[in-house]
Structure 1
Amino acid sequence: MQSRRKFLKLGAGAAIGGLAVASLPKTAAAHPSDETAWDETVDVIVIGSGFAGLSAALNAKRKKLGSILVLEKMQVIGGNSAINGGWFAVPKNPIQLSQGILDDSPEELVNDQMIAGRGMANKEILTKVANRALDAYQMCIDAGVEFRKDFNIQVGGHNKARAIRTKHGTGGDITTKLYEAGRREGVEYRLQHYIEDFVRVGDKIEGVVVRRGYRFPDQGTGELVRIKANKAVICASGGFARDMKLRAVVDPSLDPTLDCTNHLGATGEVMLSAAANGALPIHLNMIQTGHWGSPDEGGFGWSNALLSIGWHEGISVSVLSGKRYMDERTDRLTASTAIMNNRYSDGSPAYPLVFFNYNDHPDDDRVVRALRDEMAWKVDSLEQLASKFNVPLDALKKTVKEYNEHVAQGTDPDFGRKMDTAKVLKAPFVVSRIWPKVHYCMGGLKTDADGRVLDARTMSPIKNFYAAGEVTGGVHGQTRLSSCSCLETLTMGFIISEAIKANA
């Protein structure tokens, strides 16, 4: 029996993440199997409306799993997915094939991911995800998502060009279209619904306790109701990068002054409630930073888009030495570590610079926006660059001269960078400062390859309970490659809906 006392005990166990425990509705003391204990019953509850939640809901509906209800705590649809960069890794995508890249495969993508994961990634899950990449791509196309024409590039840590990007360079291009598709097909979405707790009976999650009418971030708003799920509860609530208390607990080494790319609602209380109900959390101390962050803008910003030029065509130099200090196209963990090694003697950040040729992109929206918002600057010479940012001029000139020679030779003897997209540097330049930002939680709820959440006590799946996206852990290991979050979250919608169908 799931009593009121039990609910409060479980809620208190989640308080470490800043989750406030509130009084439960009068029906909470009733036996959960008694239909009078529930305020409402649906077939599938999806928690969260980012890529993972939207894909899971749409695919569940298409699998004819009955009534599908998406609960979003914020006032808008999309979560972090709506503000991400819109990058999507798809082996064998049509643009890649039109570029003559015919030897890519899901297996090659997984191999790149396993290398980035440093021995901690889950090959079974990554393989299952990679094999459904084209399905997820087609789902987006069918929903009306537009991708940039002829745009497919090789991003950090990948061995081939397989990353496409949405037309406007934002995940909102995908979230809006999947939401609209779900609405057309009968998925119900409710905003301002905060998950207070799960209702677990034995080895099964039967439903959720929801704060309806919640107004972020006020825990005292709304009213508590209980919603039963006949077939499944799918947790797609995202990460906890904005929960400073939890971040400090799980990774005390993480610099608390680092900015964060996530929206303010990325606070992880749903994951903690699931853990209090027996779900197994893993890898919580593995918090990824985005190496493309700019100290000259807050949050996600334009730097991610601008650096999609800089990392490929330009170079990054230390303001301390005027020299390059890393392979500009390496994975996020390696790059972030190298960037944050640039510090003054007092330990304060010595923000490195990234620059590339202005005349190659004068009308590019990424450049226009960055210059407009002053998170990048146009400089007419290396002398002006060195003066503006206090860089040793002679060392800078030598670095650029050697780099241009390496571009001509097509090799990088200093750092082993792949030089196929590198360009000889010629003034004027677009230059920006960089510093990592907290970006992605590698840890979360442990699932099997079908998205079933595992019980910490039995290591077997909790019945009716699934999870997808950043709320999960143990998928990517120590670092996730760029463009693979969109891939994972969208494909898991197919995988989980099929698992629910099989179970049902």
Structure 2
Amino acid sequence: MHNRRNFLKLSAGATLGGIAAAIPVAASASECKAINWDETTDVLVIGSGFAGLSAALNAKRQGVGSVLVLEKMQVIGGNSAINGGWLAIPKNPTQLAQGVNDDSPEELVKDQLISGRGMQNEAALRQIANRALDAYELCIGTGVKFRDGFNIQVGGHNKARAIRTQHGTGGDITTKLYEAGVKEGVEYRLQHYIEDFIMDGQEIIGVKVRQNYRFPDLKTGKSIYIKANKAVVLANGGFARNLALRAVVDPSLDPSLDCTNALGATGEVTLTAMAHGALPVHMNLIQTGHWGSPDEGGFGWSNALLSIGWHQGISVSVLNGKRYMDERADRKTCSEAIMKNRNADGSPAYPVVFFNHDDYIGDDRVVRAVRDEMAWEVDSLEQMSKQFDIPLATLKQTVAQFNQQVETRNDPLFGRKMDTAVELKAPFIVSRIWPKVHYCMGGLKTDLAARVIDGRSMKPIKNLYAIGEVTGGIHGEARLSSTSCLECLAMGIVVSETIKSDLQA
């Protein structure tokens, strides 16, 4: 039952038909009693990103017993540690200080209903939005620092509600949550790969783990069994780095696209849960980040740089020198517009984004991007035209037209909100863009309390919970920028309350 090597090979290239064939039969009570457990904990958390760290710390604070976090990689944090450090918080202190007094959790949900395109879980989004200030206070209480006075309106949002960590990275949050957990008695283990769940009927009672695993070699380390007395929380993130699984669930996704995720985002735990009956939803909804740069690998600096470009500058096609989209639309809208820019042979014709250099002299986002040659300073439109092979006459017309729109605060071409746009004047900072695979909207179905649903009975699998990107069916077709961190932190609070409530039931 717990040695399904053939199923675990699915992530390396099996077909979807192999999933059903590999679903194991649940163990009997006598089989489970025969297991020689190597150790025991009360709450076992799988994954050490925002979701896992929040769940672990909050479970400890709920007084539900010992808490152990398992991370398969060699460092704490997963994708969360390398993300851009954005957090959507309606009614955050900086927002209120800016005079934005008409925001609310309900306003955030309204924006998400639009981006979700009818596929979202409204009740789940509302629950998360209503816990936004709790998530913020969790960060502040553990020592997370946010940029002074920084609160902006990002793509797809109708209000300025996105704050950002001091250093513009999610590591500012993961480090503090981890440190708080250590102080409060949470135990963390690195290089622990989940090989299987140990089930007793529709109840999870522990896991089989490869200890001292070195990614990606499954022959490293040794197998041990860890018993979970009260709960197992899946917070292992998405599967954006699993190219074979991506190809199975969404054959339309361009396999040549780069990915923003850490190398460990391969989804084996999600597949293992499915093998034990967990219901998957929306697995084919995989989001691309429209701020990706073809001039750097992985997540990179482009996200930070484009937080300027989308607001104050413009994006133009190198094919004709014209704007081609609302630069402040949601990720799905922008990604689709960007990827229409193709050469005659179908290869990418990377559009450029540019804004005024002199408005950001010394800004760390610009300094890093230019240093790493994923952005360039150009002295004129003529130089830009020559360097990126853009028709000069049209480029000049586009800039002149945009500057007129800045003056009138109206964009008749694409309906862009122009409140942050500025008149473009040389010299410029220019970067190239192309989307990257970024976020999996699909994953395991849960109820609002984070209990994993068994697709065979449509009831919760006892003691099994899931939060964060491993879950599916929450955001719908497109997730808005700055809402993933919110979801993970908030659901870490929710799941800790659920575990305590379930123990008292």
Q: Deviations over 1:157-195 (max 9, x none)?
A: 000000000000000000000000000000000001000
Between 89-98 and 203-212, report the one with greater CA deviation. Answer: 203-212
Q: Which residue of 2 aligns with 1:330?
A: 329
Structure 1 unpaired stretches of 5+: 1-5, 21-27
Contact kept, 8 Å, 1:195 with 1:209, in 2: the verdict is yes
Paired residues of 1:204 and 1:465 also in contact (CA < 8 A): yes
CA distance in 1, matches of 2:441, 2:30: 37
Take 1:118 and 1:257, find their aligned partners in 2: how far apart are those partners? Answer: 26
SS at match of 1:320: coil
Partner Cα separation in structure 1 for residue 413 and residue 445 of structure 2? 40
Structure 1 runs of 4+ off > 4 angstroms? Answer: none
Query: Aligned partners of 1:15 and 1:179: how far apart in 2?
Result: 32
Code of the residue aligned with 1:316 in structure 2: it is S
SS of residue matched to 1:16: helix
C-alpha separation in 1, matches of 2:2 and 2:449: 28
Judge conservation of contact 2:2–2:208 (CA < 8 Å) in 1. no
Q: Aligned in 2, Cα 1:413/1:12: closer, same or farther, shift over 3 Å? A: same
Instruction: Tell whether 2:60 aligns with 1:61.
Output: yes
Matched letter for residue 94 of structure 1? P
1:408-427 Cα shifts (integer Å, max 9, x gaps): 00111100000000000000
Aligned to 1:228: 227
1:77 alignment partner in structure 2: 76
> What per-residue deviation string (whole Å, max 9, x for no partner) do you get for residues 310-357 of structure 1?
000000000001000000000000000000000001000000000000
For the Cα contact (< 8 Å) 2:28–2:200, is it kept in 1? no
Displacement after TM superposition at 1:222 (Å): 1.0
DSSP 3-state at the match of 2:233: strand
Q: Give the alignment of 1:135-150 within 5 angstroms.
A: 135-150=134-149
Quick check: 1:17 aligned with 2:11?
Answer: yes
Partner of 2:111: 112
1:111-137 superposed Cα distances (whole Å, 9 cap, x missing partner): 101110111110111111110110110
Q: Following superposition of structure 1 onto structure 2, how do residues 156-171 of structure 1 map, counting pairs within 5 Å?
A: 156-171=155-170
Specify the alignment match of 1:187 in structure 2.
186
1:375 aligns with 2:374: yes
1:44-64 C-alpha deviation (Å, 9 max, x unpaired): 000000000000000000000
Aligned equivalent of 1:432 = 431
How does 1:295-334 map onto structure 2 within 5 Å? 295-334=294-333
CA distance in 2, matches of 1:334, 1:200: 42
Partner of 1:361: 360
- Deviations along 1:32-80, whole A, 9 cap, x unmatched? 5527632211100000000000000000000001000000000100000
CA contact (8 A) 2:317 2:323 kept: yes
Cα deviations by residue, 1:284-305 (Å, 9 ceiling, x for unpaired): 1111000000000111000000
Alignment of 1:265-304 (within 5 A): 265-304=264-303
Moved more, 38-47 or 323-332: 38-47
2:370 aligns to what SS in structure 1? helix
Q: Tell whether the 8 Å contact from 1:45 to 1:69 is kept in structure 2 after alignment.
A: yes
Q: Which residue does the alignment assign to 2:212?
A: 213
How many Å apart are 1:15 and its aligned residue? 2.9
How far 1:226 sits from its partner (Å)?
1.0
Q: Distance in 2 between matches of 1:451 and 1:14?
A: 25
CA distance in 1, matches of 2:343, 2:227: 56
Q: For residue 12 of structure 1, report the CA deviation from its aligned partner.
A: 3.1
C-alpha distance in 2 between matches for 1:31 and 1:94: 56
Checking the alignment, whether the CA contact within 8 Å between 2:13 and 2:244 is kept in structure 1 is: no
The one-letter code matched in structure 2 to 1:44 is V
For the 8 Å contact 1:316–1:352, the answer to whether it is kept is yes
Q: CA deviation at 1:7?
A: 2.5
DSSP-derived class of the 1:453 partner = strand
Q: Which amino acid aligns with 2:494?
A: I
Contact 1:469–1:485 at 8 Å: present in 2 too?
yes
Task: Tell me the secondary structure at the aligned position of residue 31 of structure 1.
Answer: helix
The residue aligned with 1:155 is: 154
What is the one-letter code of the residue matched to 1:163?
A
TM-score scaled to structure 1, two decimals? 0.96
Q: Which whole-Å CA distance do the structure 1 matches of 2:246 and 2:415 have between them?
A: 34
Residue type of the alignment partner of 1:17: S
Q: Matched residue of 1:8: which SS?
A: coil
TM-score, normalised with respect to structure 2 = 0.96
Matched, 1:50 2:49: yes
Q: Give the whole-Å Cα distance in 1 for the aligned partners of 2:11 and 2:271.
A: 7
Offset, 1:225: 1.0
SS in 2 for 1:7: coil
Residue 443 in structure 1 maps to residue 442 in structure 2: yes
Letter in 2 for 1:469: G
Counterpart CA distance in 1 for 2:232 and 2:129 is 24
**8 A contact 1:14–1:276 mirrored in 2:** no
Amino acid at match of 1:123: E
What residue in structure 2 maps to residue 455 of structure 1?
Answer: 454
Rounded to whole Å, the distance in 1 between the matches of 2:361 and 2:347 is 33
1:218 Cα deviation from its structure 2 partner: 0.6
* Amino acid in structure 1 at the alignment position of 2:410: T
Question: 1:8 is matched with which residue?
Answer: 3
Q: Distance in 1 between matches of 2:32 and 2:302?
A: 52
C-alpha displacement of 1:19: 8.9
Q: Which runs of 5+ in 2 are unaligned?
A: 15-26
SS of structure 2 residue aligned to 1:296: coil
Q: Is the 8 A contact 1:30 1:37 kept in 2?
A: no
Q: Distance in 2 between matches of 1:29 and 1:454?
A: 20
Give how far 1:31 is off.
3.4
Name the aligned partner's letter for residue 278 of structure 1.
G
| 2:197/2:204 contact within 8 Å kept | yes
What is the match of residue 344 of structure 1? 343
Q: Rate the CA distance shift 1:142–1:229 in 2: closer, same or farther, 3 A.
A: same
